[in-house]
Structure 1
């Protein structure tokens, strides 16, 4: 049986295109490095540690691994013709487009519902550095001068040189909400599900670690 937050196949939107997926490759790369480090430390402690050291290492890994996965690999945003599906570290939020009031990117990317709820989009991180770089590209593209060749190259690869990647993604989601919110396929109620597959092992690891430290 397919889990509710993992469809068997992407659903086409109103334009016939498959769902759009937004994930942070930088976060996933960092998560891979942290998992490798935790794995190396745990294996070394189990093989070489004495006394309760192996148990402490295993308890720490049981706590750390789910949290690393939750904050690096898990976050994602899917958007198709029916809904916006947000998978954050500890929750999965499914919002039919009719329930979406706005999507904004300030210091973080957020979606607001018609009912007044707000949810962060963890997989679309806002980078002030990228915004500054995009603004500089826009300034160069809008001015003449000796850097004309660079300006042409930038315009060719980025049709909106003054927009950072996170802002482009948010603008796309906002446009979809405005365009699809009134369609029959996009009606329904918002649903929120806690990620017990992350919370349960992390809680077990924290409890085991606390017991080992308290009885040490």
Structure 2
């Protein structure tokens, strides 16, 4: 049975979304309303005068398509160098280091973009009624969130597997657009019955992170306090 979509837009773009969903999940894709995912990888880090690759673990909590939280730990040789918690509740960005929670003024746009890029990564949130699809090529299309104007650009391989997702966001410091990119390799792994690429590259502000998913839970109960860093 073909994947059913509620999103609006041109026929070619809808067909591309349907095909890329089927390539990832088959004919019975999951309904993803909330998600918890943990990924591990490496990040360029300066330790004194040295530039080294440190280990990074990110646990992300998504409530599509409005809120997101990242819990980030950076280690070198197993020793924690940095722990950061960042939450976005749909309007405000919160950051926690130690026991102190601060509000990051003017930072909501990048985190909203991260959230929409994740919607493109997991694909099925793009089938909602508030999404407008438009084809941009034989194997590419844009997905616009008509509630806030965010646009995710998706590029597919010829076999309909997802190649990359890009979302642009205005810089908090100026009006220049910054590009957030997620690149997916072609190999797949099942984690808790959910299909993932075995490796993801995330690029932002000139830094590229290489990450691998290690655990995931679909539709866990997520309370509002989680995204304001109160729990």
TM range (shorter): under 0.3
The higher radius of gyration belongs to 1
Structure possessing the higher relative contact order (Cα contacts under 8 Å, 6 or more residues apart)? 1
Structure number with higher helix proportion: 1
- TM, length-normalised to structure 2: 0.22
- TM, length-normalised to structure 1: 0.23
